[in-house]
Structure 1
Amino acid sequence: MNTEQLKQEIIDYSKEIGIDKIGFASADVFGELRERLRRQQELKYQSGFEKGTIEERTEPERLLPEAQSIISIAIAYPSRMKDAPKSTKEERRGLFARASWGTDYHTVLRDRLRKLEAFIKEKVPDVQNKLMVDTGELSDRAVAERAGIGFSGKNTSIITPEFGSYVYLGELMTNVPFIPDDPVDDSCGECTKCIDACPTGAIVEGGQLNAQRCIAFLTQTKDYLPDEFRTKIGNRVYGCDTCQLVCPKNKKVDFHNHPELEPEHDVAKPKLKPMLRISNREFKETFGHIAGSWRGKKPLQRNALIALGHYKDKTAVEEMIAVMNNDPRPVIRGTAGWSLGKIGTEEAYEAITIAMKNETDVGVLYEMQKGLDFRQELSMK
């Protein structure tokens, strides 16, 4: 088998099936990453969403014993929404991060990787492969960095020369011994814009992220959002793009190469009030095809309540009172009470006071009291 010829054939085929960039890496142990993950674990910076042990995440042979190479792919996604709808005082809107625009990228990348896998199998019938997208054990970023897709920026994103950091990543492990590509030089230099702009200080130093403080992670949690982060998330209902938006490498970067990744206006920037009363069926029909739906509707509804409080949306008070009084989920009832207090109308305060007489959940009562405390804070100003 002529691996150099096969490699070129794979590169050519990847362009035909909609892969924007492809690179080849060795399947050697990711030693530097292993130490970084251990340090991350010691500092309790992990999100808890990570899959596998540190060994499984850094030793490819544990996942595919015969692994000799890893093929990394990148697909560019849009950074700008054409004719984006605007929030109005009557209809406030939330925002999904760009990584959740269009069809779920896991679906899109798996489609490309399966086609790539089938192509290789046709050329090498006894080949052994294993593909992964985001939810696999391997670090997509570490593989992409080694394969020359881009360099790992201070914001912990892979930054490509062509598409900035607006790329989705996936990989295919194989027992074919391809010649590895050269890594891309790190060109962040002295720039610290992403570190300086992070709303919660989650980027503790260049390339080191405290996931527990990252808004992208926090918007996906299901419990009460800690107080210090509630004013930070603004109108975000899922994810955060700040560290990408301020990156000089992303200036004027906006690719629309894949129709399935184009944002739908009312999905990527949904009206907040309808989200409060959306049924499970409606949620699945509206949001089920995007990446941001994977945790279900509860975190998104909690974030929508916080966003309405952030906007001080008086038009939402009646609906939020109904949520506070009737929703079976304590986190949603409690967040509604807190957010009503944030809006700060007399109707809201009165409703909280009445609701507290009937509420039995200690956590909800605590949140409602915080909502009432906003009245005292306002009177002292």
Structure 2
Amino acid sequence: MSEGHEPDARRIIHVDMDAFYASVEQRDDPSLRGRPLAVGGTRARGVVAAASYEARRFGVRSAMPASIARRKCPALIFVPPRFDAYRAVSRQIHAIFARYTPLIQPLSLDEATLDVTRPLVDLGSATAIAQDIRAAILRETALTASAGVSYNRFLAKLASDQRKPDGLFVIPPHLGPRFVETLPVEAFHGIGPATARRMQALGLMTGLDLRRQTLAFLVHHFGKAGQFYYDIARGRDDRPVVVDRPRKSLGSETTFERDLMTVPEMDQVLVALCAKVWDQAQARGLRARGVTVKVRYSNFRSVTRSRSGERPWTGEADLRDTALALLRTALPDGQGVRLLGVALSGLGQDAADTADQMRLL
């Protein structure tokens, strides 16, 4: 961690590339540098896959419908995603990680967690290793990365968000619980918007509020996740860094500030969610054989509808049409919809990505 770290503490680094897709596009096309840029959104009713920091100043965010992004930033430039380019840069970045530790858990093309408790190159502290990694990424890819350093995965991830873009933040063991207690619950990774609202309704606004609750209270209100919330409120997280963990599913869902009442509204959201998960699968070089649509009604009852095939989906249009057909079998009778979600299952690498990995080996 930092000099003087506790000898028994793990040393974890979380590395997150800054506006990765958009930064690759701006690096490769100098005319785009310094301009508000969105990757994606080129299809009818498309969504933003990534936004440059210039676009974020206008409120443009990933997963935002392109029509809303254009209203927020009329000068926004849209470019189609180039997943082959992003995967190539991601391989460069992961090769850099491998110089320092074999314990690497990829979370996406642009994000990974590293356990450097026993590094291949010991520079005296995890902080120094993180600085060296960031410098190597900038030198070899001309892209910036932010990093968080701490004694567990949860805190390292939180730390990586503190100095973005192009920053480094450290949470040492003696400051972990104190750092967590000041955070609003909606800022905790692992607590989504719907859960945050449930916590706030119970008067749980910050990490300190969570810490004041008993384990029995949290398990009663949040089920098995209550144990996780109990631990992270105390700065504890024993999850190991898992190398090459296979993904079983990939999905996205959204909860609405007001219930959706019409089928066209639901269709528009579902199309956007399909585009998002399809882009995520393409970025990871994954193909899927199954899709599940999740619907939560205004009375909080949830239903799912699924369909699987013998062969992977061949295009986004097939996925979208199947998801829309599944939605038709789950439309509510006279009540609104407060949440919609889409998840892909039966995931495997596509042939091109498998060939790339074989060439590397």
Task: Identify the structure with the greater helix proportion.
Answer: 1
Largest Rg, 1 or 2: 1
TM-score of the aligned structures, taking structure 2 as reference length: 0.32
**Which gives a bigger RCO, structure 1 or 2 (Cα 8 Å, sep 6+)?**
1
